[in-house]
């Protein structure tokens, strides 16, 4: 039986959200409000409950409702292109729609397609474990190791995120860590050293992705009438990223630069 869910958009030829060429499904809805979010239009789902349909005035924000069977049929039409890659479910926050996401993952695996989720891990493990158990790879976005800073950046604690990493370690689930380099916030040498020290013992971590902050989504904030507080924050340049790279090299991580997207580091 197919499961209904809300989606924002689809990228049929993704190359930066997991290994290989991937079909990337961006689902709608996220409980976080990250200051640097470049897709704030994925945060909310709007529905006209009186008429049992989406509010068309908010259509740009709300995405669209579909079902898991429809999505997987579309995925299968690209199977020849993604055979050495797979499917990544991103967002928004995919773990907000557990039944929908889980059914897509199961159907993909039945068809021999590699699966990944791109998540903040902000949903409790007791709720999210069904998806984590089933998916092949978890792309886990650690906003900040410091709980107070994480709350200021996102509006939420980092406790569930770190619990998610612990659970992945417990069940030996493959993880790629993602971390945004935000000047004045996370792009601090001590914080980055602390992050490297914290992550190093985890055997489940295959890859570390350091993602330089950018403002490509600023226009979306303005279109939605939201205050973008990072307008005057400088984007990291190549020298900034190289300094960060050296921190992780010194901690025993093997790194390489990925053009136009950030730094990728193989697990220790």
| CATH code where residue 112 lies | 3.20.20.70
Q: Which residues pair with 177 in a beta bridge?
A: 140, 208
CA-CA-CA-CA torsion for 142, 160, 15, 28, nearest 10 degrees? -120
Task: Encode pLDDT of 77-114 as tens digits.
Answer: 999 999 999 999 999 999 999 999 999 999 999 999 99
Peptide bond into 92 cis (omega under 30): yes
- Contact residues for 3 (Cβ-Cβ < 8 A; gap 6+): 67, 68, 99, 100, 102, 103
pTM of the model: 0.90
- The parent domain of residue 90 ranges over 4-266
Record the tokens describing residue 21, joined without a space. 């060429």
If one counts the domains in the chain, the total is 1
> Chain-wide mean pLDDT for the chain?
89
CA proximity to 237, closest of 209, 214, 266? 214
Does the pLDDT value for residue 260 go beyond 60?
no
């Amino acid at each position: 039986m197919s499961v209904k869910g809300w989606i924002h958009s689809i990228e049929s030829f993704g190359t930066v959200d997991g290994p290989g060429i991937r079909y990337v499904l961006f689902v709608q809805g996220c409980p976080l409000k990250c200051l640097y979010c470049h897709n704030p239009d994925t945060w909310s789902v709007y529905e006209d409950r009186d008429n049992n349909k989406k509010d068309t005035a908010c259509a740009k924000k709300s995405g669209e409702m579909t079902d898991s069977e429809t999505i997987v049929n579309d995925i299968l039409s690209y199977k020849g292109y993604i055979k050495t890659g797979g499917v990544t479910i991103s967002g928004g926050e995919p773990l907000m729609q557990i039944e929908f996401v889980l059914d897509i993952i199961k159907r993909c695996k039945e068809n021999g397609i590699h699966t990944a989720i791109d998540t903040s891990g902000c949903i409790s493990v007791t709720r999210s474990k069904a998806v984590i158990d089933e998916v092949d790879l978890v792309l886990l976005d650690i906003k900040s190791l410091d709980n107070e800073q994480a709350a200021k950046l996102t509006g939420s604690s980092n406790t569930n995120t770190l619990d998610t990493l612990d659970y992945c370690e417990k069940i030996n689930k493959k993880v790629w860590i993602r971390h945004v380099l935000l000047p004045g916030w996370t792009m601090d040498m001590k914080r980055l050293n602390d992050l490297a020290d914290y992550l190093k013992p985890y055997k489940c971590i295959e890859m570390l992705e350091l993602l330089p902050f950018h403002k490509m989504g600023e226009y979306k904030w303005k279109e939605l009438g939201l205050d973008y507080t990072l307008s005057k924050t400088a984007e990291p340049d190549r020298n900034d990223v190289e300094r960060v790279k050296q921190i992780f090299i010194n901690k025993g991580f093997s790194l390489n630069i990925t053009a136009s997207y950030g730094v990728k580091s193989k697990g220790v």
